[in-house]
Structure 1
Amino acid sequence: MALQWFPGHMHKALKEIKESLSQVDILIEVLDARIPYSSENPEIAKIRGDKPCLKILNKFDLADPDVTRQWQDELESQRGVFTITTTSDKPAESKHILTLIREHCAAKNASIQSINAMITGIPNVGKSTLINILADRIIAKTGNEPAVTKSQQRINLGSGIVLYDTPGVLWPKLENPNSIYRLAASGAVKNTAMEYDDVGFFAADYLIKAYPDLMKARFKLDTLPDTEIAFLEAAAKQRGAIMRGGRVNLHKICEVLINELQSGKLGRVSLETPSMVAQEKIEMAEAAEKKAAAKAKRKQRFKEGSLTPNKRDRKEKRTEKREAQSKRMKQDRK
């Protein structure tokens, strides 16, 4: 699936983040606990340098808690990174974020200067709701659709902490093709920019393998099919997603599956694990190596000229003729 959604304000937001980062003491990145890798902006890792980074695994109540703990261990093994899990229905626990900011900016917290923190996150990850909890007032506009925040703003959280809020941004080039599907399935991409059938097939294939009991119970199936198409057909019959003539309405059942995944009705599921991502990175590196080798080979062929033996002979004769002519001209000048 090709993701065709990178609005103009996202280009501007990435530029503003890079420009403002020098004024920031700590970086806060809000991740979707179901997809910590796919919702992590690779541009942030490139530009944050030595600044401490708090990664908030939001929507923890929707994610598999065992997998989330694996992700916290994985993320905290990185230099300068610490994590916390949050949910929108437990605002008191989210307030602990302020304590963590002060602890990791202890030197500045002890002075009279304010701590400048920048908060980033992909669209629809719950960043604006989290900001309103931290500020104890409605500041950031919230909504069920991605990309509600359009411009950067500064928010005084009190207690010496100033927050730089940035628009939710994706990045121009998504390297991992599976991440594209996970972002779409989790709700980070507007539904007008994705194909429900495509994303639904991807989600079904993963979920029946990773969470067979949940899927079997949710769709009231006596036995769970072992392929995504068979599962979707069985689920469609259970949910009445049938068209005239008894044909299965795949678009409708895919839409149902994605909506129930996003709302948490399927249960607590995570769409990626650290070991899964590690394997995908190996496969991506191998694919990149093959692509680079193929490119180098094409470049070499172009340099040498894609000539048949007959054409190559004629080219060599022309070269010899020019060299001989050049030699005669030099002798004549003498």
Structure 2
Amino acid sequence: MAVQWFPGHMTKAKKDFEKNLKYNDLVIEVVDARLPRSSENPMLNQIIKNRAKPHLKLLNKSDIADEKVTQQWINFFQKETTISALAVSAKNKKNKVDIKKACMKLVPHRGTSIKPVRAIIIGIPNVGKSSLINLLTQKKIAKTGDVPAVTQMQQRIIVDNDFVLTDTPGLMWHKIESEVQGNYLAASNIIGINAYDETEAALYLLDCLKENYSQSLMDRYELDATIINQPSEDIIEAIAIKKHMLLKGNNPDLRKSAVIILQDYRSQKIGRISLEFPEK
């Protein structure tokens, strides 16, 4: 399954990003801490690399990701790349200071009222970029929502007298070739509902949970180890039966079971989960 989800306004947004990049000192990229690789935009990263701009990657939603794995990602970016990385949560007001300090460190020649830091902030839809902007400004400047593609226009935002942001729409690339990547994005509610199959996304999610969070999976759905060791299709069926999600003829409702699994992951009812690991 190659996921294709590229709303028309994103073509214009990509061109606007390229145009405005030269007027900014650095790039702040927001990714989902649960899947830092799958939630970054390779199309934009290549543009940033070509322009040789300082690059700060914010691993947002770190409060719902596996804390140990998030720290592994921070170490990875700092040791293996030229990208600075910081774990943040839009719910943590203290992170405003952390983000500003990280930016000032990257552009030490800026950061006064005369020469404020000028940062352009990017991220694919629904990684929490708008919520972070509201955190930085301490106001509800940017629209937020739990569906992708809320922001559709670039806007200049004065955070403080020494810090200015250029906001951009959530930008996807044209085609997600990897099945794993596409389904991780789907499971994490980052791409639109019409672009994926819920049962397929739940199967990929279960594959990860079985391998890395088997005890959390067993605890949430009262499953035993013999079921956990079965194919993910059997686990979806077992959960449907356990939760009495049945169709006519007492057949398990596999789609409803899949939707419940996705919802439980998104609402942290299974626990703090990371889907991607640096060593893999």
Q: TM-score band, normalised by the shorter chain? A: over 0.9
Per-residue Cα deviation, 1:275-327 (whole angstroms, up to 9, x for no partner) = 22xxxxxxxxxxxxxxxxxxxxxxxxxxxxxxxxxxxxxxxxxxxxxxxxxxx
Question: The residue matched to 2:63 in structure 1 has which SS?
Answer: helix
Query: What letter corresponds to residue 258 of structure 1 in structure 2?
Result: L
In 2, distance between residues paired with 1:213 and 1:253? 19
Residue pair 1:25, 1:115 contacting (<8 A) in 2 also: yes
In 1, distance between residues paired with 2:83 and 2:274? 21
In 2, distance between residues paired with 1:255 and 1:159? 46
Give the 3 Å change call, closer, same or farther, for CA 79–216 of structure 1 in structure 2.
closer
In 2, distance between residues paired with 1:97 and 1:114? 15
Question: The residue matched to 2:11 in structure 1 has which SS?
Answer: helix
The match for 1:231 is: 235
Per-residue Cα deviation, 1:79-127 (whole angstroms, up to 9, x for no partner) = 5411111123212224321122122211122682222100001111111
Question: The residue matched to 1:38 in structure 2 has which SS?
Answer: coil
Please, what TM-score do these two structures have when normalized by structure 1?
0.79
Please, what TM-score do these two structures have when normalized by structure 2?
0.94
The match for 1:109 is: 111
Pick aligned residue for 2:202 from 189, 200, 203: 200
Unmatched 5+ residue regions in structure 2? none
Residue pair 1:232, 1:254 contacting (<8 A) in 2 also: yes
The match for 1:171 is: 173
Deviates further, 56-65 or 91-100: 91-100
Moved over 6 A (4+): none
The structure carrying a bigger helix percent of its residues is: 1
Q: What is the CA-CA distance between 1:197 and the residue it aligns to?
A: 1.2
Per-residue Cα deviation, 1:188-220 (whole angstroms, up to 9, x for no partner) = 112222111111111112211221000000001
Pick aligned residue for 1:56 from 58, 62, 65: 58
Does 1:183 pair with 2:189? Answer: no
Residue pair 2:2, 2:176 contacting (<8 A) in 1 also: no
The match for 1:34 is: 34
Give the 3 Å change call, closer, same or farther, for CA 243–119 of structure 1 in structure 2.
same
**Superposed, which structure 2 residues align to 1:1-334 within 5 Å?**
1-48=1-48, 49-109=51-111, 112-223=114-225, 224-226=227-229, 227-276=231-280
Query: What letter corresponds to residue 128 of structure 1 in structure 2?
Result: S
Question: The residue matched to 1:164 in structure 2 has which SS?
Answer: strand
Residue pair 1:236, 1:250 contacting (<8 A) in 2 also: yes
In 2, distance between residues paired with 1:11 and 1:251? 34
Which protein shows a greater Rg?
1
Give the 3 Å change call, closer, same or farther, for CA 94–238 of structure 1 in structure 2.
farther
Question: The residue matched to 1:7 in structure 2 has which SS?
Answer: coil
Residue pair 1:87, 1:94 contacting (<8 A) in 2 also: no
In 1, distance between residues paired with 2:81 and 2:214? 36
In 2, distance between residues paired with 1:238 and 1:37? 34
Question: The residue matched to 1:77 in structure 2 has which SS?
Answer: helix
Query: What letter corresponds to residue 95 of structure 2 in structure 1?
Result: E
- Measured on the aligned residues, the alpha-carbon RMSD in Å equals 1.5
Per-residue Cα deviation, 1:137-172 (whole angstroms, up to 9, x for no partner) = 111001111110011100011132110000011101
Residue pair 1:50, 1:80 contacting (<8 A) in 2 also: no
The match for 1:314 is: none
Question: The residue matched to 2:142 in structure 1 has which SS?
Answer: coil
Higher relative contact order (CA 8 A, sep 6+): 2
Question: The residue matched to 1:142 in structure 2 has which SS?
Answer: coil
